[in-house]
Amino acid sequence: PTCHTGSISCFGDEETVDLSVLANLEKTIFERQQAGASDKSYTASLFAAGLPRMAQKVGEEGVEVALAATTDPAKLPEESADLIYHLLVLLRACGFGLRDVLNVLAARTKKSGIRD
């Protein structure tokens, strides 16, 4: 941060991002996991298909993100959203959540000797 308020900038031109979208998505994923076979959603179908299918979807979406970045950057946000969704499903299936990932990132930031 360069501003006395802890913000990146003192000029107030930063875009505000509502991260509650991710928390709400995680909650929905958890609820659909708990509902099991009675839920006919795409999310529930991923849980029914198991870890190999979930991992495959994360891989596919990762490739689509890379391709969008190099061939059609306008699609990058949409493909990134797909990747984040599938990653959250996989994390939940493995007993983890976004908080676990954020904790790792925070720990890495604290011990980094390189300015990011």
Spatial distance between the Cα atoms of 47 and 95, rounded to a whole number of angstroms: 12
Q: How far is CA 107 from CA 21, 92, 102, 110, in A?
A: 23, 21, 9, 5
The span from the CA of 38 to the CA of 31, in Å, is 11
How do residues 67-101 score in pLDDT, each as one tens digit? 999 999 999 999 999 999 999 999 999 999 999 99
Of the candidates 77, 42, 84, 44, the one whose C-alpha atom is nearest the C-alpha of residue 62 is 84
> Given phi > 0 = left and psi -120 to 50 = alpha, else beta, which region is 4?
alpha
As a whole number of Å, the end-to-end CA separation of the chain is 11
Return the domain boundaries, the chain. Answer: 21-107
CATH code for residues 21-107: 1.10.287.1080
Q: What is the mean pLDDT of residues 19-29?
A: 95
Residues 6+ apart with CB under 8 A from 46: 53, 54, 57, 86, 89
pTM: 0.81
Alpha carbon distance 110, 9 (integer Å): 21
* Rounded average pLDDT over 105-109: 91
